[in-house]
């Protein structure tokens, strides 16, 4: 009892405050003007970096491909806003809704591989001489339906997400196309043997990690490994945020060290290797929360549909094609350290309370997880919870709440504050 009284005495007259520094992902607009389609950015979809550091971007809405050299845009390939399927040179070439792109080296040349989705072909275009880019249908590879992404494996094969054929295909060095996983023409979510059993629903984005291939497949992330297809068992981390929604439309996935990031509707999700839950890296907690909002802190931002992501290891930045905002945006970890606003400015209302009460003044901590404990005069914890702060106040309603004096302890990150509450 003496211990409990000493504890109570300490808590009654001491506010324990340790201001934590919360490391957040910083989001910034990199290229383009919000909501303004242009010849440079018109519903940007795919991104890739060539060996000279040029950032190539496919404009799905503009039907063209541009590159950014670090200072300005160059209209490189494709007639802007003129969909079609023609050969030619430079801007006289025509595409129809190009999606995923990849800059690679083949036969000593720099080649841009383009998923020309509307024309159902994969096109190989030499970009070694940027002043004279030409195309030839003889180099186009057919046998696809809405090809949406392309990557290269360790053996030099091109791996293509053949979205509307519901499978993953391989293009070898001779240009031969074979099914790598899935049942061509059959939609489904079955796991198992890659060639005889597995099915895909909407394979849209790819990431090659050694001998494994990860697939963003609609409402799931799939993995092709050792001739088998499996579904990653990840679900929303409701301890991080009870307002998290499930995966609604995964369209791409990339790896950043030990962290995986995938685009999902209007959000970007993240999970670490071996984890069974995902959190929101940037954008809305719910992937349907679309629009435009800009702020340094990750979940305070909004996107208007995200299809592809690209990680730039040199800049340690995740590039995001913000489709309907006509922007390229960047997300960086550790770009901003936010001093957690002091919980000491919060209030308990009403106080005295009749039972249920509110913690008010939490808006500045929105998106953080608040731990709350209510302790009675004997030192017994009568209530505890963890809730994500989504607005200015939280409701606390303990079941065992008799009249008397209580201590309410609140914790966010490394910050702890204790306040007195009287119950009538």
pLDDT at 387: 86
- Is residue 22's pLDDT more than 60? no
Token couple for 192: 């198992």
Q: Which of 303, 338, 373 is the last residue of a domain?
A: 338
Asked if residue 129 and residue 13 are part of one domain, the reply reads no
List C-alpha distances in Å: 198 to 183, 208, 227, 339: 7, 18, 10, 48
pLDDT at 18: 35
pLDDT at 342: 67
pLDDT at 4: 41
CB atoms within 10 A of CB 49: 18
Asked if residue 404 and residue 334 are part of one domain, the reply reads no
Asked if residue 155 and residue 38 are part of one domain, the reply reads yes
- Is residue 21's pLDDT more than 70? no
Picking from 20-24, 112-116, 120-124, which range would have the lowest pLDDT averaged per residue? Answer: 20-24
Distance of CA 418 to the CA centre of its chain: 36
pLDDT at 324: 97
Determine contact, residues 363/392, Cβ cutoff 8 Å.
yes
CB atoms within 10 A of CB 292: 16
Question: What residues contact 25, with CB distance under 8 A and at least 6 apart?
Answer: 281, 282, 297, 298, 331, 332, 333, 335
Q: What span, in angstroms and rounded, lies between the C-alpha atoms of 12 and 33?
A: 54
pLDDT at 369: 84
Asked if residue 109 and residue 83 are part of one domain, the reply reads yes
**What is the domain count for the chain?**
2
Q: What span, in angstroms and rounded, lies between the C-alpha atoms of 243 and 239?
A: 10
Going across the sheet that includes 220-225, the strands are 192-193, 228-231, 220-225, 212-217, 203-209
Q: Residue 245's domain is classified under what CATH number? A: 2.120.10.30
Q: Which of 317, 338, 359 is the last residue of a domain?
A: 338
Question: What residues contact 255, with CB distance under 8 A and at least 6 apart?
Answer: 207, 209, 261, 311
Residue predicted with more confidence, 333 or 18: 333
Question: What residues contact 297, with CB distance under 8 A and at least 6 apart?
Answer: 24, 25, 26, 27, 336, 338, 367
Secondary structure (3-state) at 354: coil
End-to-end CA separation in angstroms for the chain: 25
- Is residue 340's pLDDT more than 60? no
Q: What span, in angstroms and rounded, lies between the C-alpha atoms of 217 and 232?
A: 11
Q: Residue 383's domain is classified under what CATH number? A: 2.60.40.3080
| pLDDT band, residue 239 (cuts 50/70/90) | low
Q: What span, in angstroms and rounded, lies between the C-alpha atoms of 419 and 408?
A: 5
Asked if residue 293 and residue 305 are part of one domain, the reply reads yes
pLDDT at 213: 98
Mean pLDDT value across residues 94-112? 93
What percentage of the chain exceeds 70 in pLDDT?
A: 90
pLDDT at 11: 39
pLDDT at 241: 66
Asked if residue 186 and residue 91 are part of one domain, the reply reads yes
Token couple for 30: 């990199």
Q: What is the pLDDT of residues 29-70, one digit of tens each?
A: 999 999 999 999 999 999 999 999 999 999 999 999 999 999
Token couple for 199: 């099915």
Q: What is the pLDDT of residues 286-304, one digit of tens each?
A: 899 999 998 777 888 899 9
Q: What span, in angstroms and rounded, lies between the C-alpha atoms of 417 and 412?
A: 9
Q: What is the mean pLDDT of the chain?
A: 88
Asked if residue 233 and residue 87 are part of one domain, the reply reads yes
| Domain extent at residue 202 | 25-338
Determine contact, residues 337/21, Cβ cutoff 8 Å.
yes
- Is residue 338's pLDDT more than 60? no
Asked if residue 363 and residue 310 are part of one domain, the reply reads no
Asked if residue 193 and residue 258 are part of one domain, the reply reads yes
DSSP state of 86: B
pLDDT at 399: 79
Residue predicted with more confidence, 385 or 58: 58
Residue predicted with more confidence, 409 or 162: 162
Mean pLDDT value across residues 6-32? 55
Determine contact, residues 239/193, Cβ cutoff 8 Å.
no
pLDDT at 243: 67
Asked if residue 279 and residue 352 are part of one domain, the reply reads no
Mean pLDDT value across residues 70-91? 93
Secondary structure (3-state) at 344: helix
| pLDDT band, residue 337 (cuts 50/70/90) | very low
Mean pLDDT value across residues 392-405? 84
Q: What is the pLDDT of residues 194-237, one digit of tens each?
A: 999 999 999 999 999 999 999 999 999 999 999 999 999 999 98
Residue predicted with more confidence, 70 or 343: 70
pLDDT at 137: 83
Asked if residue 368 and residue 226 are part of one domain, the reply reads no
What percent of the residues of the chain are helix, what percent strand, and what percent coil, each to the nearest 5? 10, 50, 40
Question: What residues contact 52, with CB distance under 8 A and at least 6 apart?
Answer: none
Sequential DSSP letters for 80-115: TT----B-EEGGG-B-SSEEEEEEEEETTEEEEEEE
| pLDDT band, residue 9 (cuts 50/70/90) | very low
Sequential DSSP letters for 192-243: EETTTT--BS-EEEEEEETTEEEEEEBTEEEEEETTEEEE---EE-TTT-TT
Q: Report residue 151: phi and psi, to 5°.
A: -135, 170
Determine contact, residues 59/324, Cβ cutoff 8 Å.
no
pLDDT at 135: 83
pLDDT at 46: 98
Asked if residue 99 and residue 61 are part of one domain, the reply reads yes
How many helices (H) and strands (E) the chain has is answered by: 1, 34
- Residue 278 backbone class (left: φ over 0; alpha: ψ -120 to 50; beta: rest): beta
Q: What is the pLDDT of residues 159-204, one digit of tens each?
A: 999 999 999 999 999 999 999 999 999 999 999 999 999 999 999 9
């Amino acid at each position: 009892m003496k211990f409990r009284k000493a504890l109570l005495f300490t808590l009654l007259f001491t506010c324990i405050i340790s201001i934590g520094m919360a490391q957040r992902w910083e989001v910034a607009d990199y290229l383009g003007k919000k909501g303004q389609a242009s010849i440079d950015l018109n519903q940007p979809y795919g991104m890739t970096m060539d060996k000279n550091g040029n950032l190539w971007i496919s404009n799905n809405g503009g039907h063209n491909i541009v590159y950014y050299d670090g200072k300005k845009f160059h209209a490189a390939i494709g007639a802007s806003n003129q969909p079609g399927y023609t050969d030619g040179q430079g801007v006289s070439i025509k595409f129809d809704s190009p999606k995923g792109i990849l800059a690679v080296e083949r036969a000593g040349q720099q080649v841009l591989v383009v998923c020309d989705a509307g024309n159902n072909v994969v096109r190989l275009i030499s970009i070694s001489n940027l002043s004279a880019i030409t195309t030839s249908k003889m180099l186009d590879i057919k046998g696809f339906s809405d090809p949406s992404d392309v990557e290269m494996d360790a053996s030099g094969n091109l791996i293509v997400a053949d979205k509307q054929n519901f499978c993953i295909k391989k293009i070898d060095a001779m240009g031969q196309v074979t099914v790598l996983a899935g049942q061509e023409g059959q939609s489904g979510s079955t796991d198992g043997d890659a060639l005889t059993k597995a099915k895909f629903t909407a394979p849209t984005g790819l990431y090659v990690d050694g001998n494994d291939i990860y697939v963003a497949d609609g409402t799931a992330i799939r993995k092709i490994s050792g001739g088998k297809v499996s579904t990653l068992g990840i679900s929303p981390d409701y301890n991080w945020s009870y307002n998290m929604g499930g995966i609604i439309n995964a369209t791409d996935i990339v790896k950043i060290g030990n962290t995986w990031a995938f685009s999902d509707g209007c959000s970007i999700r993240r999970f670490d290797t071996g984890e069974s839950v995902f959190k929101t890296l940037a954008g809305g907690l719910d992937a349907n929360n679309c629009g435009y909002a800009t702020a340094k802190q990750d979940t305070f931002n909004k996107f208007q549909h995200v299809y592809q992501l690209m990680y730039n290891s040199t800049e340690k930045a995740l590039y995001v094609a913000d489709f309907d905002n006509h922007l390229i945006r960047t997300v960086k970890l550790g770009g901003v350290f936010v001093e957690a606003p002091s919980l000491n400015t919060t209030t308990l209302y009403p106080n005295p309370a009749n039972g249920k009460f509110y913690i008010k003044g939490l808006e500045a901590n929105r998106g953080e997880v608040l731990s709350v404990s209510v302790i009675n005069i004997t030192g017994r914890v009568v209530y505890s919870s963890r809730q994500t702060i989504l607005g200015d106040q939280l409701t606390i309603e303990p079941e065992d709440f008799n009249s008397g004096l209580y201590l309410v302890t609140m914790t966010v990150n490394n910050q702890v504050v204790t306040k007195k509450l009287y119950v009538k």
